[in-house]
Amino acid sequence: MPRPCKRRRVRGRPNSSYFKPAGVQRVELEEIALAHDEFEAIRLVDFLEMSQLEAGEKMQVSQPTLSRILKSGRNKVADAIVNGKAIRINRD
């Protein structure tokens, strides 16, 4: 049985929870769900330009865990941009 997930500290809230390509109706789009912790990791490391160590401390997770969260979030954002998908940010 796997270990239970440790709660991550998430402080940032997105101004909008849904992003889609312009000119395409929402019903025609495939959607990607970005977890709140993935959003927070991207916000801290890429937007606020913190090191992964600092961001991990803020989220109260280890640097390797933050790195996995960040990689997952970046892959989802890249998939949405490259393949024209919508991004929905889950507010857990």
Domain chopping of the chain, boundaries: 33-89
Structure tokens at 38: 């993935």
Q: What percent of the chain has pLDDT over 70?
A: 86
Q: What is the pLDDT of residue 66?
A: 94
- pLDDT digit string, tens, across residues 6-47: 666 566 667 778 899 998 888 889 999 999 999 999 999 999
Q: What is the pLDDT of residue 70?
A: 96
Residue 83: which H helix or E strand, with range? helix 63-83
- Candidates 53, 44, 40; CA nearest to 9 is 40
What is the pTM for the complete model shown?
0.82
Q: What percent of the chain has pLDDT over 90?
A: 61
Of 3.40.50, 1.10.760, 1.10.10, 1.25.40, the CATH number of 33-89 is: 1.10.10
